[in-house]
Structure 1
């Protein structure tokens, strides 16, 4: 018969034993409340501690007045649970003798197993035989015996440490660390090894007389991280060995030396700091190599954001590099233009305010940074409101804009030395009415004014002022159909008639040089992205939208439309698809299926089906396979610095092809150059305790500053001690039977 404490009259004995074990479990639990307590504090805690629960087949007093709990002993105390076959409390020696199998589990998931134990009443000192400790449900420390010291330290002798599954059918872990002595500091959550040997598949591969590592529950600890091996055709074989330094709870620094057999010596760094109201991150590197002998090379990227009073946010971004090829040479994110900026902004329901300062640097061959805008200052304020007299919704916008170039003269007279400031005010208004047949009628109006001050450009006057009104009438007639199977369809023809001045004072175009014609701006008063260019002349935006949604998850959307102009003002290039009195036809389709298939396509073509632009992307997101492939075709367009036709195909895919094996590929091919531009292959093997990444990439293109290169990488992570996340359960060695 099972007896639960407290009981009377035998319940008093069970309660005394439960109280002793309960206080001891608090001391034994890592990070327990009694950790490192003095004897006096332990006695005080004994009196004040909440009662423990003891369950056993029998609780009795022995002939020597020892308290004995026998058979299926279970103790519960403040989230910690201990099970054993027998517990004896020696009142004279104030000690506990526990017969196993012993299992102690705390609220954090730390597990301690042993065959037998002799411990002090508070479990702060004593001995556990044939013991095993499991930290964070992944890292196992098995030892011949564990000696408890002062409730803080656990000293393990003849220890094997691993996070791999070990059982009778698979007694040899994939990796293990064997040590003559291990000390686990529960307070600092550190593990210290003496005479440690790393073994892979049972074969010794590395020996260290001293080794320290954090336990898996400590997410940030000073020490070495997993090294990464890299071999490139430019730098040769090399290794990155990151060293993480925890500078308190709110900041850290990672130093990463990079050494290669081509005499490359580089030190990388990453600094992070969290504040009460924000954070900053800085990443960079500095060193020398054989690619540019005698030159110091490096880069620095930094960003941060801070929440200020009254809802304001301060954010910044810094990007700088020593030379154009550095990022590609060292396998860093590829960029051909760098942007640094700082911004103070606030966003509310009906208001947006932003003050921003920007600087640019080009890494493109043949582009002169002295002619790039910079610095650039922009102030924007937008206010949305509802006019009381005319109804609808209105928006008032103001923008102040200024830029300066480092170039002081321009022999080509093309504005490459131009400095400019601008102030713009714009008022937008829209109101909708729904007629009895269901036609949605919208009245749209816009008025804007700009003032320019221009310097160092003889092509323009020193000052320019202009006013540009516009008005539109929009008609939408949505037709809705619901099917018996739960599918719904909406067909919506849209006609937008726009009245705009045939001529507006021209101004230098700094913010609207690229124009994109797509379904997002088919019905727009102005398709230029910024303020400097204004779409002119009366016109009609005509199109049709069709959407279909089914109950089983199939979604299809199609858009087709065109722009008709009363007068061709030659504002748009051929490549944009908007040139001429009639623009190209715009067609766009978007498809999503319940099984993960997606399709996005867009094409621009004229009445003769001469295509200006064609882009399509097909994707699949499944349980084991994810892939995406895209194709882009563009005609030449000198206004967009595209002197030849563009035809590119790209492919990227990830495939979990066998349990713990995952592969990925990336490919980009240039049909005009008739060659691949880049290719990449990655292979990953991962289980509960080990992760191996193998990568191979090739960049085929080259220029005066960038060379074609092949990059090979290898990293091996021992999960549980490398700072990586917990291993996957997709493939685990079976321990059944």
Structure 2
């Protein structure tokens, strides 16, 4: 029968200097004439979170030494695992020698050595070492391994130091490195090389990116990435810093290439946020590029407008104060920087309170638009506006379940307009408005817990604009959707407001099933006493009656979602239309989007747009994955972008191969193709090995 012996430190003076209690479990425990403690048969020892198992342990009190016969299994308090055939250690397992040993870190990286020396409880020096995260099978070399004359593991700094190292693939040497340092798998952030990336494009040729990560403390880091090819020499950089009250991130690059010989090209993007006090936030953003093509040439972004800004917001339960200043730059061929306008600023304050049985909201705002082009007219006009508003709303539930809400508001605006003779230099405008909305929610319960909600809607509104005409700077893009069917105005800004009396009618239906299925439908239309000429034809809101609005949403328990919205007239001529279908599951992420936008000169669209966009990823097996994306222009019957990627990973390697193609609209410009290749050796990074189980060894 297996015996149990618990040894207290008080009984063994050699262990009295250490803290904690040592416990020993064995089939047989004896003390010989020399005072040596001998434990044999299924021996297990526990000390300060460490666990040691062996066939035989001999403790020599006079020499303060443990002699251990294997097979030996040692697990440290941090999860580190060591196996060996024989060991000579001190009782605290801090110093000593292990022969025929193997060290396993975080169940990922295994290092096999002819001998391991334990030094000061901090270092493990491995001699004649082979390191790999791959499955090791008898008679076959692992997929990759690093052989070194010596490897030192610093448990405090959590670093691995290799000397005279050779990298092998299936036992074939491919690279010799005299010395290198790598983080062990427990490290979340460590200075060193990241995964290289090979990139091939039609414009820049074959190149390689070699990112180097630098830790600058627990909350700051810097990544420098040289990008080398025959056509370019570039250095990319990313800086990140976080603190208790904010964070900042900046990315940029500097390049010299054959696309623009003799020029220094580059870009800089940055954004940050500071939480000055509870509810008070300061934010900023910076976007700059040396030329219109740099971002697309280097695969950074396809944006053709850049915005830099600084903003402040103070939010409480009943008030909002904000300020915003922005600078815009355009790379579009049909736009001029100075006419965007490039400078735009705004400051506003809003507050609400309970009053007269309802909610009273009031506030004020000031904003300005500054253009830098010379001349007069739309491309040179400067506008400044100061205004105030007050509104009151109340809601009541009437007999038979009717819900009635209503209220009124008044807005006062003072405009100063320069460099545009089409408008008076100063304009004062007053806009009073009233509105009442009646809803009748009808609920029915079906079999199996299914719920049905049918809600008719009737909204009556009136407003008028008193004062001179002003340019419409902030309401050029108008949407008609289920969110503003019963709104007082469909214009998103302050410069334009709906005029006259109007009535909105609508009907919505919602189904909620017990299995998680949800269906929602909304239809509606707006009727006016007088036509509103401020709306563009494409908005569907012009005329005495608007177009019909129809929207639908569907959520299925299998992870399938669908959204659709369209605006059409009595002749079934469709205006703005959009639809999205998505499927999300543990192995599949798939989405498809369709958008149709008719001609709208007020929105800067001289031709209609109809596009399909598809984006998907399929985890075929735990090791293999496929990804694809694409955009197709139905109006011009041509592809816009296309991309395809293949990923493969096992317990120790991850490979990603991608190809993308961007098509241009100009006949003289050829499409560009971008190839990407990334190979990651798992086991040395904080990302770990992942969920891919190791393969099986076959005889």
TM-score after normalising by structure 1: 0.91
**Residue number among 646, 651, 668 corresponding to 1:688 in the alignment:** 651
**Residue number among 592, 615, 625 corresponding to 1:652 in the alignment:** 615
**Residue number among 225, 243, 246 corresponding to 1:275 in the alignment:** 243
Matched, 1:499 2:469: no
**Residue number among 590, 593, 596 corresponding to 1:633 in the alignment:** 596
The answer for unaligned runs of 5 or more in structure 2 is: none
* TM-superposed deviation, 1:473: 1.2
* TM-superposed deviation, 1:125: 2.0
In structure 2, the partner of 1:443 is 406
In structure 2, the partner of 1:368 is 336
- Paired with 2:669 and 2:284, the residues of 1 have a C-alpha distance of 29
- Contact conserved, 2:622 with 2:691, CA < 8 A, in 1? no
- Paired with 2:48 and 2:486, the residues of 1 have a C-alpha distance of 65
Out of 489-498 and 657-666, give the one that drifted further.
657-666
**Residue number among 251, 264, 272 corresponding to 1:304 in the alignment:** 272
What does 1:463-474 correspond to in 2, within 5 Å?
463-474=426-437
Matched, 1:727 2:697: no
Out of 460-469 and 725-734, give the one that drifted further.
725-734
Out of 552-561 and 80-89, give the one that drifted further.
80-89
- Contact conserved, 1:503 with 1:536, CA < 8 A, in 2? no
- Contact conserved, 1:625 with 1:655, CA < 8 A, in 2? yes
In structure 2, the partner of 1:254 is 223
What does 1:35-184 correspond to in 2, within 5 Å?
44=17, 46=18, 49-168=19-138, 171-184=140-153
Matched, 1:208 2:161: no
Q: Deviations over 1:454-490 (max 9, x none)?
A: 2222222221111111111111001100112110010
In structure 2, the partner of 1:323 is 291
* TM-superposed deviation, 1:56: 2.1
* TM-superposed deviation, 1:171: 4.5
Structure 1 residues 107 and 355, CA, compared in 2 at 3 Å: closer, same or farther?
A: farther
In structure 2, the partner of 1:27 is none
- Paired with 1:16 and 1:683, the residues of 2 have a C-alpha distance of 63
- Contact conserved, 2:340 with 2:371, CA < 8 A, in 1? yes
DSSP 3-state at the match of 2:619: strand
- Contact conserved, 2:327 with 2:344, CA < 8 A, in 1? yes
Structure 1 residues 351 and 58, CA, compared in 2 at 3 Å: closer, same or farther?
A: farther
Matched, 1:189 2:158: yes
- Paired with 1:533 and 1:495, the residues of 2 have a C-alpha distance of 24
- Contact conserved, 2:465 with 2:497, CA < 8 A, in 1? no
- Paired with 1:188 and 1:731, the residues of 2 have a C-alpha distance of 29
- Paired with 1:77 and 1:452, the residues of 2 have a C-alpha distance of 80
**Residue number among 364, 376, 388 corresponding to 1:398 in the alignment:** 364
In structure 2, the partner of 1:26 is none
Higher strand share: 2
* TM-superposed deviation, 1:316: 0.9
* TM-superposed deviation, 1:5: 4.2
Q: Deviations over 1:207-245 (max 9, x none)?
A: 111111111112222221111000000000000111111
* TM-superposed deviation, 1:665: 0.6
In structure 1, the partner of 2:233 is 265
* TM-superposed deviation, 1:727: 2.4
DSSP 3-state at the match of 1:313: strand
* TM-superposed deviation, 1:167: 3.9
* TM-superposed deviation, 1:395: 2.0
What does 1:589-668 correspond to in 2, within 5 Å?
589-668=552-631
**Residue number among 512, 528, 537 corresponding to 1:565 in the alignment:** 528
**Residue number among 257, 260, 268 corresponding to 1:292 in the alignment:** 260
**Residue number among 398, 412, 428 corresponding to 2:391 in the alignment:** 428
Out of 245-254 and 326-335, give the one that drifted further.
245-254
* TM-superposed deviation, 1:560: 0.4
- Contact conserved, 2:69 with 2:86, CA < 8 A, in 1? yes
Structure 1 residues 561 and 383, CA, compared in 2 at 3 Å: closer, same or farther?
A: same
Matched, 1:490 2:453: yes
- Paired with 1:355 and 1:707, the residues of 2 have a C-alpha distance of 44
**Residue number among 217, 222, 227 corresponding to 2:186 in the alignment:** 217
In structure 2, the partner of 1:35 is none
- Contact conserved, 2:430 with 2:465, CA < 8 A, in 1? no
- Paired with 2:664 and 2:475, the residues of 1 have a C-alpha distance of 30
Q: Deviations over 1:469-519 (max 9, x none)?
A: 111111100110011211001000000000112666432222111111111
- Contact conserved, 2:352 with 2:362, CA < 8 A, in 1? yes
* Aligned residue pairs, count: 699
Structure 1 residues 399 and 53, CA, compared in 2 at 3 Å: closer, same or farther?
A: farther
Aligned residues: CA RMSD: 2.0
- Contact conserved, 1:645 with 1:672, CA < 8 A, in 2? yes
In structure 2, the partner of 1:356 is 324
TM-score after normalising by structure 2: 0.96
DSSP 3-state at the match of 2:470: coil
* TM-superposed deviation, 1:375: 2.5
Out of 122-131 and 430-439, give the one that drifted further.
122-131
Structure 1 residues 458 and 729, CA, compared in 2 at 3 Å: closer, same or farther?
A: same
In structure 2, the partner of 1:33 is none
DSSP 3-state at the match of 2:651: coil
**Residue number among 456, 473, 480 corresponding to 2:443 in the alignment:** 480
- Paired with 2:186 and 2:347, the residues of 1 have a C-alpha distance of 47
- Paired with 1:15 and 1:112, the residues of 2 have a C-alpha distance of 29
- Paired with 2:302 and 2:664, the residues of 1 have a C-alpha distance of 13
* TM-superposed deviation, 1:310: 4.8
Matched, 1:524 2:484: no
- Paired with 1:138 and 1:364, the residues of 2 have a C-alpha distance of 51
Out of 489-498 and 418-427, give the one that drifted further.
418-427
Structure 1 residues 613 and 581, CA, compared in 2 at 3 Å: closer, same or farther?
A: same
The answer for unaligned runs of 5 or more in structure 1 is: 24-42
- Paired with 2:680 and 2:655, the residues of 1 have a C-alpha distance of 6
- Contact conserved, 1:378 with 1:402, CA < 8 A, in 2? yes
* TM-superposed deviation, 1:555: 0.4
In structure 2, the partner of 1:29 is none
* TM-superposed deviation, 1:704: 10
- Contact conserved, 2:309 with 2:326, CA < 8 A, in 1? yes
- Contact conserved, 2:311 with 2:323, CA < 8 A, in 1? yes
DSSP 3-state at the match of 2:571: coil
